[in-house]
């Protein structure tokens, strides 16, 4: 079996083309420019790269972008004051505080301070609760990206055995909630596996759709999946460098072996990664439309 390669790079490109047109129409017809503020505390190299990518995506799409870089010794009170200011700024429709934050800052307190209507990461309890009952304003970026990869690749979720390996609040849990909704386009029967699951392979072997987000290189091997499985690999693991010094990246799935049994599979890199920032842009556009009464 030759697996269909689900390219997040190509699908993200399609969605960004759609967003570019929508943003241009909002500006022309309603004088509305979606606005995103990113907040970075400290100098974590990976976080700097991520925020830079988000700024670049905003500029490419025509989204108004503000970047707030704060020193690592910024107090929690100062950070909360900035969030309060952004909450009240009509130019800003989405607020993203880049994680991780320095240890002296209470992460839940910061995330919960963001106006739920501007919480384009969908981490606020209000947005988590709306997802739980099937009435979300925004979908968390990575779970939304996973969903888009599936539906735009012609994968039917309805009635499928979906196994989610990894139970984080950012990916695993919200993905399970999203794909199990009893709505058109969803309707999977979802099993959520985590670190205390006794034998993951019992569950992965029966999956029609297998999603893995644990951060362990090549955790899922060919003997752990059935023929015809659809695999979404969220993991990005650095396992070394090439002779030229370029990082060698692999997923949580043994791609070369599993692709021989899979119906469809995402590569690493180039799978889920490109989708996450694109979904952030999608949420920012929706936030602007909601604020203007257009959605």
Radius of gyration of the chain (CA): 19
Cβ neighbourhood burial of 70 (10 Å; 0-12, 13-18, 19+): middle
- For 134, left (φ over 0), alpha (ψ -120 to 50), or beta? left
Predicted confidence at residue 232, as pLDDT, reads 98
* Same domain as 158, residue 109: no
Asked if residue 49 is part of any domain, the answer here is yes
* Same domain as 268, residue 188: yes
Predicted confidence at residue 1, as pLDDT, reads 66
Torsion of CA 242, 50, 126, 91, to 10 degrees: -160
* Same domain as 106, residue 218: no
CATH number at residue 94: 3.40.50.10860
Asked if residue 18 is part of any domain, the answer here is no
- pLDDT of the chain, 295 residues: tens digit per residue: 689 999 999 999 999 999 999 999 999 999 999 999 999 999 888 888 888 999 999 999 999 999 999 999 999 999 999 999 999 999 999 999 999 999 999 999 999 999 999 999 999 999 999 999 999 999 999 999 999 999 999 999 999 999 999 999 999 999 999 999 999 999 999 999 999 999 999 999 999 999 999 999 999 999 999 999 999 999 988 888 877 778 888 999 999 999 999 999 999 999 999 999 999 999 999 999 999 999 8
* Same domain as 256, residue 214: yes
Could you say which of 100, 116, 132 is where a domain stops? 116
Q: Report the distance separating Cα 124 and Cα 176, nearest Å.
A: 17
What is the reported pTM? 0.94
Predicted confidence at residue 49, as pLDDT, reads 85
* Same domain as 109, residue 145: no
Asked if residue 284 is part of any domain, the answer here is no
* Same domain as 179, residue 105: no
* Same domain as 269, residue 203: yes
* Same domain as 180, residue 255: yes
* Same domain as 162, residue 65: no
* Same domain as 245, residue 163: yes
| Active centre residues (catalytic) | 54, 98, 121
Q: Give the range of the structural domain holding residue 203, as residue numbers without chain letter.
A: 141-273
Predicted confidence at residue 244, as pLDDT, reads 79
Asked if residue 123 is part of any domain, the answer here is no
Could you say which of 81, 116, 151 is where a domain stops? 116
Q: How many domains does the structure of the chain reveal?
A: 2
CA atoms within 13 A on the CB side of 286: 18
Asked if residue 228 is part of any domain, the answer here is yes
Asked if residue 292 is part of any domain, the answer here is no
* Same domain as 45, residue 166: no
Asked if residue 192 is part of any domain, the answer here is yes
* Same domain as 227, residue 192: yes
Asked if residue 87 is part of any domain, the answer here is yes
């Amino acid at each position: 079996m030759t697996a269909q390669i689900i390219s997040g790079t190509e699908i993200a490109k399609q969605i960004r083309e759609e967003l570019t047109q929508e943003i241009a129409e909002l500006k022309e017809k309603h004088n509305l420019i979606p606005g995103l503020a990113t907040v970075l505390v400290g100098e974590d190299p990976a976080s700097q790269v991520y925020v830079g990518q988000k700024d670049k995506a905003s500029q490419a799409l025509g989204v108004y972008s503000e970047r707030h870089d704060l020193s690592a010794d910024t107090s929690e009170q100062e950070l909360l004051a900035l969030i309060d200011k952004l909450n009240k700024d009509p130019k800003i429709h989405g607020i993203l505080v880049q994680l991780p934050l320095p240890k002296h800052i209470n992460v839940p307190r910061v995330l919960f301070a963001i106006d739920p209507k501007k919480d384009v990461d969908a981490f606020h309890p209000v947005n988590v609760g709306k997802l739980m009952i099937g009435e979300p304003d925004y979908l968390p970026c990575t779970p939304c990206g996973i969903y888009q990869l599936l539906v735009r690749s012609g994968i039917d979720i309805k009635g499928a055995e979906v196994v989610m390996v990894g139970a984080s609040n950012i990916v695993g849990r919200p993905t399970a909630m999203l794909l199990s909704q009893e709505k058109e386009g969803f309707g999977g029967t979802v099993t959520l596996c985590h670190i205390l699951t006794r034998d993951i392979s019992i569950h992965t072997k029966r999956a029609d759709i297998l999603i893995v987000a644990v951060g362990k290189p090549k955790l899922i091997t060919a003997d752990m999946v059935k023929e015809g499985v659809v695999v979404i690999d969220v993991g990005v693991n650095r396992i070394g460098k090439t002779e030229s010094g370029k990082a060698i990246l692999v997923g949580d799935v043994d791609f070369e072996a599993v692709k021989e049994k899979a119906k469809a599979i995402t590569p690493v890199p180039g799978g889920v990664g490109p989708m996450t920032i694109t979904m952030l842009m999608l949420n920012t556009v929706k936030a602007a439309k909601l604020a203007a009464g257009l959605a």
